[in-house]
Amino acid sequence: MPDPAQSPLRIKICGLSTAETIAASVEAGASYIGFVFFERSPRNVTPKRAAELSADVPPGVAKVGLIVDPSDDTLDAILSNVSLDMIQLHGSESPDRVLEVKTRTGLPAMKAVGISSAEDLSRLPPYEQVADQILVDTKAPKGSDLPGGNGLSFDWSLISGRRWPIPWMLAGGLTVDTVAAAIQQTGARQLDLSSGVERAPGVKDPEKIRAFITAAQAAVPTS
């Protein structure tokens, strides 16, 4: 099994809901395992189910909880059931709210920021001051029920050559066929994907997981 800590590329497989797909992700070298706590998502799991699945995640692989505009009660209910290593805020949380969540949970926070045009880049700096990581995702289409996991990519040239003050992760429309171009254009060394390794919404495919991670790792320059 690859050691995710030694990899030049760190990959997060999000929206996992079975022991089989967690095992496939870990064995292929994923650095992060993502659980979705958002009822409208086909990838939603309960905190109790996430706790059961967490037993299959070895030390060194981070367990991330994706939460959308959570109340304090929601945070408490999740964390009273499952031990997480990081909170991923994927809603319209303000920078102040990011700080509040970090303080309340005692966990690092990753803030997702949706991008569709150059104007959206101005939203990044305030979050870079408070979050521990930034997830750069495709802005959800108007009327979408889901803030992410829509299988759409944005214009990667918008962030080509950008200097990042904190660790960041690229998401949005990543597949085994697009990952090499994504890495080349953005310089990303952390990737997040969900729908790109599914055979149906919310149904992960172990073979697609393994194929994606293999292709992504092969696309990283060796020097």
**What pLDDT, in 10s, does the model give residues 199-212?**
999 999 999 999 99
Which of the residues 137, 155, 192, 205 is marked catalytic? Answer: 137
Which of the residues 3, 14, 69, 177 is marked catalytic? Answer: 14
* C-alpha closest to that of 173 among 191, 157, 150: 150
The predicted pLDDT at position 153 comes to: 81
CATH class of the structural domain 4-219: alpha beta
Annotation marks residue 137 as catalytic:
yes
Model confidence, pTM: 0.92
Instruction: For 37-81, give the DSSP string.
Output: E-TTSTTB--HHHHHHHHTTSPTTSEEEEEESS--HHHHHHHHTT
Please identify which residue in the block is written with the tokens 């880049």.
121
Q: Which two tokens stand for residue 28?
A: 């292929």
Cβ-based neighbour number of residue 102 at 10 Å: 17
Lowest-pLDDT choice from 54-68, 81-95, 133-147:
133-147
Annotation marks residue 14 as catalytic:
yes
Does residue 148 carry a pLDDT above 60? no
Does residue 113 carry a pLDDT above 60? yes
